[in-house]
């Protein structure tokens, strides 16, 4: 059985020609009206910027699983969130190891993208 789930998020850029990016907290919404509401709020907050609504379609696949137990990987885990690295995670903010750092991409991404002026974590300390 294959299922699709759609969520919406907002990308912004300060000037035309700059790469689009998600700024601040990486919210996404299942409901389009809600996302449009947030888009309008974002446009009010930063009127000089360009903002656009993005749609993320996630494919969910359900299938019978095998019952042979593979031993728990004692793979190395992220030094921040303690989640084991998953090198097969293709997401740029997923749980794959970030380059040669002891942290996962998700944590690095959250650290680099933090808009909290007082943000300090093991990564940037």
Q: Which is nearer to Zn ion, 50 or 89 (CB)?
A: 89
For 10, list phi and psi in degrees, rounded to 5.
-115, 135
Taking the C-alpha atoms of residue 95 and residue 105, their distance in angstroms, rounded to an integer, is 6
Neighbours of 47 (CB within 10 A): 8
What would the x/- binding string for Zn ion be over residues 33 to 72, using CB under 5 A? ----------------------------------------
Taking the C-alpha atoms of residue 40 and residue 118, their distance in angstroms, rounded to an integer, is 28
Taking the complex as a whole, the smallest distance from the CB of residue 62 to Zn ion amounts, in Å, to 27
What would the x/- binding string for Zn ion be over residues 75 to 94, using CB under 5 A? ---x-xx-------------
Q: How many helices (H) and strands (E) does the chain have?
A: 2, 2
Q: Which residues sit at the interface with Zn ion, rule CB under 5 A?
A: 78, 80-81, 104, 107, 111, 121, 123-124
């Amino acid at each position: 059985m294959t299922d699709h789930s759609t969520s919406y998020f907002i990308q912004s850029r300060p000037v035309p020609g700059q790469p689009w990016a998600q700024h601040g907290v990486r919210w996404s919404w299942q409901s389009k009206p809600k996302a449009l509401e947030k888009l309008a709020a974002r446009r009010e907050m930063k009127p000089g910027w360009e903002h656009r609504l993005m749609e993320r379609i996630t494919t969910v696949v359900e299938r019978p699983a095998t019952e042979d137990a593979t031993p728990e990987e004692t793979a190395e885990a992220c030094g921040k969130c303690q989640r084991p690295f998953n090198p097969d995670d293709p997401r740029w903010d997923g749980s794959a190891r970030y380059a040669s750092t002891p942290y996962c991409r998700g944590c690095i991404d959250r650290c680099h993208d933090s808009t909290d002026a007082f943000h300090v974590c093991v990564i940037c300390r």
